[in-house]
Amino acid sequence: MPYRDFLVTYSDRFIDGTLITLGQFGLAVLVAIFAALISGLMKMAHSKTVRAAATVYIELFRGTSLLVQLYWFYFVLPLFGFTLEKFTAGFLTVGLCYGAYGAELVRGAIQSVPRGQWEAALALNMSPAQRMRRIILPQALVTILPPWGNLMIEILKGTALVSLISVADLMFETRQINNNTYLSAQAFGTALIIYYIFARFMLTPIMRWLERVMARKIGRT
Amino acid sequence: MLDWKLDFTWEILPRLIAAAGNTMLAAGGGYVVAVILGLVFALAQRTPSRTLTFVVRELVEFVRSTPLLLQIFFIYYVGPQFGLRLSPWTAGLIAIGLHYAAYLSEVYRGGIENVPKGQWEAARAINLSTSQTYRRIIIPQALPPALAGMGNYLVGILKDTPMLSVIGVAELMHTANSIGADNFRYLEPYTLVGLIFLAISLPTAWFIRRFDKALRRKMGLTR
């Protein structure tokens, strides 16, 4: 079958898969941001217990494989009484896994905000929550964006693993097409190109643009 | 509800530990490929040939921004279509090695670019050839700062080896899957796999951190 015909025949399935992948990606990013922010802040808390809880989360997810976590969330967690739908288990696990990597970025970025900023906020009689929200986090955001861009690409790549718990994402559809047609080069090659286009020509430019906007907003150009 | 069966645990633990040996073998083999190929990628991007630099640069970007799982499938299944049959182990090591070579080439590049320009000029002044300069002046200085990054990717490779289970490499995840399917019990095998990974990767990461610190102190680079 010529490649053109192949594309025409299977474009619907590639598109369906891509949409699911994008959904998984978007939701996983939200989970990751949330988890990274919370655990990154917890890691800097005064209370030893809070710090320990964050460390356990981070080391647990960074010390094991995403695939192991995915199977565990999907097959073992129901035994504890939490049954997750496969779609939910997918983005939740991917998000939690990369959130653990993001936590270190959050902590590093917050600590890189100069001492004087903390002191000035204190001198202005801001409460700790105000100081964090209005002074520290906006400046930390500028520092964190470049490495966070790399993490976003890792998250996109990580979502391919949800196909192994049968979420019908791009990877899953591609395998199905391959199983039906044995046209491996065409099937896997097309999927590689789709992932590449998303990472290189959409995600990366958006992150660059965000970096520029944030730097301008904070008066650093 | 939850019932952890101890006798089942003891029954499957030896099989899982044996499979952990295969996991480490796959990680080690993939790492050797990545370390060598990564250096080739890094050096190819420093040759005067613009075409070669461009092609390798794009290849590295491509490999880095697409999923390893997909690359594993691609390498394993596309070969036979053109009459080249690869065993799961060979395909797996090539895929994982290529993927991490792309990451390692960036680590090397950073290390090489960090060597002060004066070193190049000095090497030139004493009439060293390019290959001599790399071998005797640049790489010895570029390597130590890059070692921490290289170590982190060793842990990264280890954690990505479970993906090889999809093409039938009998590593930890694959073994856990078949134990689970045979006994209809997933709690113990999957939990044990997680614990075995922690038992390997946490000490390795700790050791790499210590090693990096000691190395930096020795080189007078304390942060």
Q: Which of B35, B54, B34, B30 is nearest to B44 (CA)?
A: B54
pLDDT for res B214: 85
Of A149-153, B40-44, B72-76, B81-85, the one with minimum mean pLDDT is B81-85
In which band, very low, low, confident or very high, does the pLDDT at B1 lie, cut at 50, 70 and 90? low
C-alpha distances in angstroms, A113 versus A135, A138, A139, B186? Answer: 9, 10, 7, 46
Contacting residues for A145 by C-beta, under 8 A, at least 6 apart: A207, A210, A211, A214
pLDDT for res B132: 93
Among residues 169-198 of chain B, which lie with CB inside 8 Å of chain A?
173, 176, 180, 186-187, 190-191, 193-194, 197-198
C-alpha distances in angstroms, A58 versus A11, A106, A109, A129, B219? Answer: 40, 12, 17, 24, 31
Domain ranges of chain A: 3-217
Average pLDDT over residues B32-36: 96
Q: What is the pLDDT of residues A51-99, one digit of tens each?
A: 999 999 999 999 999 999 999 999 999 988 889 999 999 999 999 999 9
Q: What is the spatial distance between Cα A99 and Cα B216, in angstroms, rounded to a whole number?
A: 29
Q: pTM for this structure?
A: 0.92
Average pLDDT over residues A101-128: 94
In which band, very low, low, confident or very high, does the pLDDT at B222 lie, cut at 50, 70 and 90? low
Average pLDDT over residues B82-94: 93
pLDDT for res B223: 47
Percent of chain A with pLDDT over 90: 92
CB A67 within 8 A of CB B69: no
Q: How far A219 CA lies from chain B's nearest CA (Å)?
A: 29
Average pLDDT over residues B119-131: 93
Q: Which chain B residues contact residue A156 at CB under 8 A?
A: 65, 67
C-alpha distances in angstroms, B127 versus B114, B130, B132, B142, B212? Answer: 22, 9, 10, 21, 34
Q: What is the spatial distance between Cα A25 and Cα A171, in angstroms, rounded to a whole number?
A: 13
Q: What is the spatial distance between Cα B152 and Cα A68, in angstroms, rounded to a whole number?
A: 19
Q: How far B68 CA lies from chain A's nearest CA (Å)?
A: 7
pLDDT for res A1: 77
In words, the CATH class of domain B6-218 is mainly alpha
Q: Cα-Cα-Cα-Cα dihedral of B143, B148, B153, B154, to 10°?
A: 90
Q: What is the pLDDT of residues A33-54, one digit of tens each?
A: 999 999 999 999 999 999 999 9
Residue of B74, B86, B99 to mutate, testing the A interface (most A Cβ within 10 Å of its Cβ): B74
Average pLDDT over residues B8-31: 95
Q: What is the spatial distance between Cα A209 and Cα A202, in angstroms, rounded to a whole number?
A: 11
In words, the CATH class of domain A3-217 is mainly alpha
ipTM computed for the complex: 0.92
Q: What is the pLDDT of residues A122-132, one digit of tens each?
A: 999 999 999 99
Average pLDDT over residues A6-13: 94
Q: Cα-Cα-Cα-Cα dihedral of A144, A149, A154, A157, to 10°?
A: 160
Residue of A nearest to B77 (CA): A184
pLDDT for res B80: 87
Cβ of residue B84 closer than 8 Å to a chain A Cβ: no
Instruction: Say whether pLDDT at B74 is over 60.
Output: yes
pLDDT for res B139: 86
Q: What is the pLDDT of residues B106-118, one digit of tens each?
A: 999 999 998 999 9
Q: What's chain A's average pLDDT?
A: 94
Instruction: Say whether pLDDT at B221 is over 80.
Output: no
Q: Which chain A residues contact residue B1 at CB under 8 A?
A: 79-81
Contacting residues for A1 by C-beta, under 8 A, at least 6 apart: A9, A181, A183, A186
pLDDT for res B216: 78
